[in-house]
Chain A
Amino acid sequence: MLKCKINGVEVEVKEGTTIIEAFKIAGQKIAHYCWHPGLSVAGVCRLCMVEIKGQPRLQIACNTPVQDGMEITNQSEQVKETVRWGLDFHLINHPLDCPICDQAGECGLQDQYMEFGLYTPEMAEPKVKKHKVVDLGSKIVLDTERCILCSRCVRFTAEVTKTYELGIFNRGDRSEIGTFENKPLENNYALNTVDICPVGALTSKDFRFRQRVWYLQERESICTGCSTGCNIKIYFNEEGLFRIRPVYNEKVNGYWMCDEGRNIYKFVNKENRLLKAKKGRKGEWLEMEGGAAAKDVAHHFKSLDKERIALVVTGQFSNEEYEALFQFYKKNVGNDFVYHWINNKESFEDFDGLLLRGDRNPNTKGLLQKLEDYRYEQTWAHLEENLKAGKIETLIVAGPENPLWFPDLKEKVQQWGIQLSHLIWLSSAKVQAVDEVECLTWQIPLKTFFEKDGTYVNYQGLEQKSHRIATIVPGALSLSEAAHLMAGEEYKVDMAPILKGPKKNYYVHRRGYL
């Protein structure tokens, strides 16, 4: 370990730690744009200047390793003056179009200028004109005038994805970030470049202009898009969820996440949700509250032939929910007709080499463990045979949260609708096929990961806790709650608060004058 002093704060750091990392450890502020802990050191923004005692020349903190006994400061007048000018150099050709820039409110230029800036701009010359609104395909829009050429995005496509789409063309102040001939930037990690872009140069088509970021709240969670379980931050307000970004976790996802994972927020929002419980069959549905529907199942359950019931489970739920569901099943049904619905058999073992796994479930590992604990060992083929032979009359299905990743969903539901007399369908998702089944069906709306607490075990066997954030669909149940109610138990359904917060453009509406 090495000892050093950062702005007078003594810290101990590991051998090989750079000064900028030591600043972070010491909790000291330091201006920087090009440095990113997940990428190589570029050393080009020249903002992280520090003064090291005994060295006349200022050094950049990102490329200078800490040595034992070093005394480092960025509080001296020389450093402050340098950084003030450094920021001005960044801004002289920047369009300063903050009012219409999607990055406003979370922009490195705004934040760092406020902290370290010069406040008396000297630039009186016309700015360099560059390309604006460059369409980089389905996900990203590029504004090269806003770009400060930190090269983070270029390094990302070269070092992380190794797809080499982005480059910096031309030289001097004519330099521009871009893809060759504006080819689309479509790799499955492309939106990370939007995250790491410190300014509004790269913006996400999915997110831009939908919300001003200061109207959003953010909370951490776990991505349920595949068995990797990337750590994420969810941005939402009372209108719903708007985007997802990765949160650093050294053991799981590092600094990144895939673009498909970012889409999971869409399955939490109301548009794609089963909003009410329903009982009935095609054309004859009776809407009710989720809890009432589960109780109705409990009521009906007594009359069913227990030997002709089976349970289908997907890997989409938490450990706690599997436990509650299996407890319910053991006590109230008792047979071992419990089947694991694997959504995409052919690609289940796939891995893209970075983060995305073919197993598009957050908790397959947890499910398998529970199945083993309860000695549920039946194969899917066994279910198919029994269905065909008419031995199963009632199927309880703990279905998908995200129907996109269940390509056989429609086909299976249709088949069950014909083969069964009762279907108890538990899912958070709106699924058209279920509305069209002919057998007597209970559709019970479930909560998504955003609305409940739970533990997920990722592909490595790492347990990660996901916390309830808010309620999107008021009457929805967790699978545990549904299980208890279906067992006929008195059970208080726990409801997270419904989202409340400032409305979009609240201030404008309130004042009415802006």
Chain B
Amino acid sequence: MEVKVLTKHYDKPEYRSLEGYKKYGGYEVLKKALGMKPEEIVAQVKEAGLRGRGGAGFPTGVKWGFLPNNGEPRYLVCNADEGEPGTFKDRMMMEKAPHQLIEGMLISAYAIQSKKSYIYIRGEYMEPYRIVEKAIQEAYDAGFLGKNILGSGFDHDMDVYRGAGAYICGEETALLSSLEGKKGQPKLKPPFPAVEGYLRKPTIVNNVETLAAVVTIVKDGPKEYRKYGTEKSPGTKIFSVSGNVLKPGNYEVPLGYPLKDLIYNLCGGLKPGRQLKAVIPGGSSAPVLTAEEAERATLDYECLAEMKSMLGSGAVIVIDDSNCMVDLLKVIMHFYHHESCGQCTPCREGTGWLDKIVGSIYKGEGRLQDIQLVEQVSKHMMGRTICALSDAAAMPAISFVQKFRSEFEFYVREGRSKVKEVIANA
């Protein structure tokens, strides 16, 4: 069963407009929040155990707590550069409920005492951009943004910024570089953005879904929020399901929800006659799960970490037995090769190298040692760079060749895919 907390009113078209949003209690939580002390809100978010929904799963309240008390202006930036392959939840949230995001941002901005925020939307999302831009204007007109919001004495300005096509900008410091008008290259850490972020000022970057979740936490209190989910992964989360399921789409379920239920119940299962082969549980950067692992997995940070994969952005890519894993890895490696920003050597060279090795195998020109080489190269790309893109390329590579080694070996030996053979015979 879906549990619609964030997405409760998403089926109502009017929810997109300010009037419609207000009809369902919109901006009431903001009023409540402005009556609270900022620290109380931070404490509630901490207590609720909200973890970043963009991919890394870092506790939001803890992140907020890193802000230094040095009197410098603070920025809040919403990361709407949704680019992790398989993920399309933020787009839906902005299209269906832009005011929910704005309200969440306002509450968060008040909590961290920021006077200025940006929503950084990926360049391709023109439609969400227009919707959010319009919603911000509505919010200004209604007095939810600007000076002395709802008579509370709290001032806040919000703006939206459009990216221009770069996966790496989903990494928070790359996003900030981009927002500064530069190439989207991650910044060296430390300092972390909470200390030196946008224009070297203290900055908090949170995902769309994270910020929207703040509304529910403040509305119902942390206890109510923790009613769903597990002890360490509380709350609900929106999962974007794609690939070989009958009903792909976004589904909001409590964290800890069984992966197989998501696939077979909510998404209608696979096409008739097809068998589950693998699942990528958290966007293309997450190590792939075998069908057997997928049957056992629950959708929470802990279980997937235990399985040496990750929840990531909640993008579940379901792979049935008609797919060739060499082919899919080639697609994924091409992606990281295309998206590496080029700053750090191991990533710049490693992503290209992996793409070429897997490409050679795919073309039937692979050598048996190439399979091991994929693992070796990947291993030396991990934990060696400024940001996690290098790891994000290495992890699927390692997991694909380790878990589907026989398929890779067959491909190298025969110069063609085992799967297509199987399908042809069937």
Contact = CB atoms under 8 A, between A and B. Distances in A.
User: A contacts B directly in the complex (CB < 8 Å)?
Assistant: yes
Nearest to A176: B342
B275 interface: no
Interface string A483-502: 00000000000000000000
Given A42-B188, A49-B384, A173 B349 contact: yes
B364 to A, nearest CB: 15
Interface stretch (B41-49, B60-68, B333-341, B397-405): B333-341
8 contacts: A42-B343, A43-B188, A44-B344, A63-B188, A63-B190, A89-B353, A171-B168, A172-B340
A411 interface: no
Contacts of B357: 125
A44 B349 contact: no
A123 B349 CA distance: 11
A173 B168 CA distance: 14
A157 to B, nearest CB: 16
B247 interface: no
A125 B343 contact: no
Given A43-B386, A49-B384, A172 B348 contact: yes
B345 A57 contact: no
Interface in B137-179: 166, 168
B338 A172 contact: yes
A58 interface: yes
Nearest to A41: B188
A175 interface: yes
Contacts of A174: 342
Given A171-B342, A172-B341, A82 B384 contact: yes
In this complex, the interface size class of chain B, counting residues with CB under 8 Å from chain A, is: 20 to 34
A19 to B, nearest CB: 14
Main secondary structure of the interface of B (DSSP, over half): helix
A123 B377 CA distance: 10
Contacts of A168: 183, 342
Given A92-B353, A125-B360, A175 B342 contact: yes
A471 interface: no
Nearest to A57: B383
A437 interface: no
A44 B380 contact: no
B350 interface: yes
B345 A44 contact: yes
Contact of B183 (A45, A126, A171): A171
A171 B340 contact: yes
B340 A85 contact: no
Contacts of A350: none
A92 B352 CA distance: 10
B373 A122 contact: yes
B385 interface: yes
B351 interface: yes
B367 interface: yes
Contacts of B346: 46, 85-86, 89
B383 A93 contact: no
B356 interface: yes
Interface string A79-105: 001100110011011000000000000
Interface in A41-64: 41-47, 49, 57-58, 63
Contacts of A166: none
Nearest to B190: A63
A170 interface: yes
A160 interface: no
Contacts of A423: none
B342 A90 contact: no
A173 B384 contact: no
Interface string A206-220: 000000000000000
Nearest to B383: A57
A82 B380 CA distance: 7
Nearest to A171: B342
A41 B376 CA distance: 29
B353 A85 contact: no
Interface of B: 166, 168, 183, 188, 190, 337-346, 348-353, 356-357, 360, 367, 370, 373, 376-377, 380, 383-386
A175 B384 contact: no
Contact of A44 (B338, B370, B376, B386): B386
Main secondary structure of the interface of A (DSSP, over half): loop
Given A41-B188, A63-B188, A172-B338, A46 B344 contact: yes
Given A43-B386, A46-B344, A171-B342, A122 B337 contact: no
Given A125-B356, A126-B356, A173 B188 contact: no
Contacts of A286: none
A82 B344 CA distance: 14
B353 A171 contact: no
Interface of A: 41-47, 49, 57-58, 63, 81-82, 85-86, 89-90, 92-93, 122-126, 128, 148-149, 168, 170-175
Contact of B166 (A44, A122, A124, A171): A171
Contact of A46 (B190, B342, B377, B384): B384
A122 B376 contact: yes
A47 B349 CA distance: 14
B336 to A, nearest CB: 9
A173 B386 contact: no
Given A124-B370, A171-B340, 7 more contacts: A44-B344, A58-B384, A86-B384, A128-B352, A148-B345, A173-B348, A173-B351
Contacts of A149: 342-343, 345, 348
A174 B339 CA distance: 11
A42 B186 CA distance: 11
A83 B349 CA distance: 14
A46 B349 contact: no
Contact of B349 (A49, A92, A171): A92
A216 to B, nearest CB: 30
Contacts of A86: 345-346, 380, 384
B237 to A, nearest CB: 28
A42 B349 CA distance: 17
B352 to A, nearest CB: 4
A126 B183 CA distance: 28
The 8 closest A-B pairs by CB, nearest first: A175-B342, A173-B352, A125-B356, A85-B380, A172-B340, A89-B349, A43-B188, A171-B342
B422 to A, nearest CB: 29
Contacts of A49: 384
Given A42-B188, A82-B384, A125-B356, A170 B342 contact: yes
Which residue, A85, A86, A89, A124, has most C-beta atoms of chain B within 10 A? A89
Contacts of B348: 89, 149, 172-173, 175
A81 B351 CA distance: 19
Nearest to B390: A46
Contacts of B183: 168, 171
Contacts of B349: 89-90, 92-93, 173
Given A92-B353, A172-B338, A45 B345 contact: yes
B380 A123 contact: no
A123 B369 CA distance: 11
Contacts of B353: 89, 92, 123, 125
Contacts of A172: 337-342, 348, 351-352
Contacts of B339: 171-172
Contacts of B338: 172
B280 to A, nearest CB: 22
A126 B365 CA distance: 13
